[in-house]
Structure 1
Amino acid sequence: MSRLDSMLRRLTAQRDGLNWAAARIRDMDGDVVDLGLGNGRTYDHLREILPDRRIWVIDRVLQCHPSCVPPEQDFLQGEAEPMLEKLAASGARIALAHYDFGFGIKEKDVEEAARLSPLIARVMVPGGYIVSGQPLVGFEPIKGPDTIAPDRYLFYRA
């Protein structure tokens, strides 16, 4: 598979997975968190499909497209661990989390996801959904949309 086809497959899975999870939290209380802002595409999509939800964003740096800059009060800039601690201390309760942190080195990405999983669990509402590009630990793995290959994106319940 070409890198272009792989990227298209990943982005389609990401979109379909977020749409699927957003539909499942319609009657659930809680905010949303985008873990890894990047250039802001996912955050922008979350704003569109969940316009009435507060969307928290955590990332090391703010380097997204100017149209995708989150409100200052919703952007937690810094390393993931202290920012998740700060989110927990704020009292935020998360119904939907999108995990998109990564260094691009599979072993390092898997290790970081496992290390951050307990911190993510602290902010999730019971039964909340997590859409993730990396394997997480301590959550109930669930089947996502049929349009997504099982190895492309991962889905969990808190």
Structure 2
Amino acid sequence: MSRLDSMLRRLTAQRDGLNWAAGQISPLQGDVLDMGLGNGRTYDHLRETLSSRRIRVIDRLLQCHPSCVPPEQDFLQGEAKPMLERLAAEGRSIALAHYDFGFGIKEKDVAEAAILSPVIAQVMVPGGIIVSGQPLVGFEELDGPDGIPQGRYMFYRAG
């Protein structure tokens, strides 16, 4: 498979997974958390899809497209663990989280996701959904929507 086809498959899975997750959280109270703003495509999709919810964003740097800059009060700039701890100190309030942190080195990305999993759990409301590009630990794994290849995206429910 070409890198272009792989990218298209990943982005389609991401969009379909986020849309599915948005439907799953409809009865839950809570905000949305985008972990890894990047150029802002996912954030833009989330704010369009879940316009009635507050969307918090964590990233090391603000380097997204100008049309995708989150409000200052919703952007937590810095390393993931302290930013998640800050959210936890404010109280559990996340109904849907999207995990898209990564260094681009699979072993390092998987290790970081495992380390961050307990702190992510602290910010999630019971029953909240996490859509992740990396395997997380300590959550109930879900099948997610049909049509997404196994391992392409992972879906979890918080306890």
Normalising to structure 1: TM-score of the pair?
A: 0.99
Specify the alignment match of 1:113 in structure 2. 113
1:33–1:98 contact (8 Å) kept in structure 2? yes
Q: CA separation in 1, counterparts of 2:19 and 2:31? A: 15
Specify the alignment match of 2:98 in structure 1. 98
Specify the alignment match of 2:37 in structure 1. 37
1:31–1:92 contact (8 Å) kept in structure 2? no
Q: CA separation in 1, counterparts of 2:96 and 2:150? A: 19
Residue correspondences, number:
158
2:92–2:122 contact (8 Å) kept in structure 1? no
**Cα drift, residue 91 of structure 1:** 2.1
RMSD over aligned Cα atoms? 0.6
Q: CA separation in 2, counterparts of 1:115 and 1:91? A: 20
- Per-residue deviation, residues 83-141 of structure 1 (Å, max 9, x unmatched): 00111112251000000000000000000000000000000011100000000000000
Q: CA separation in 1, counterparts of 2:10 and 2:153? A: 8
**Amino acid corresponding to residue 45 of structure 1 in structure 2:** H
Specify the alignment match of 2:76 in structure 1. 76
2:133–2:152 contact (8 Å) kept in structure 1? yes
Q: CA separation in 2, counterparts of 1:60 and 1:86? A: 15
**Amino acid corresponding to residue 4 of structure 1 in structure 2:** L
SS in 2 for 1:149: coil
Normalising to structure 2: TM-score of the pair?
A: 0.98
**Cα drift, residue 151 of structure 1:** 1.4
Q: CA separation in 2, counterparts of 1:32 and 1:6? A: 27
**Cα drift, residue 4 of structure 1:** 0.3
Identity of aligned residues (%): 80
Q: CA separation in 2, counterparts of 1:122 and 1:104? A: 26
**Amino acid corresponding to residue 110 of structure 2 in structure 1:** V
Q: Does structure 1 residue 157 correspond to structure 2 residue 157?
A: yes
How does 1:14-25 map onto structure 2 within 5 Å? 14-25=14-25
Q: CA separation in 2, counterparts of 1:118 and 1:92? A: 13
Query: Would you identify which runs of 4 or more consecutive aligned residues in structure 1 move more than 6 Å?
Result: none
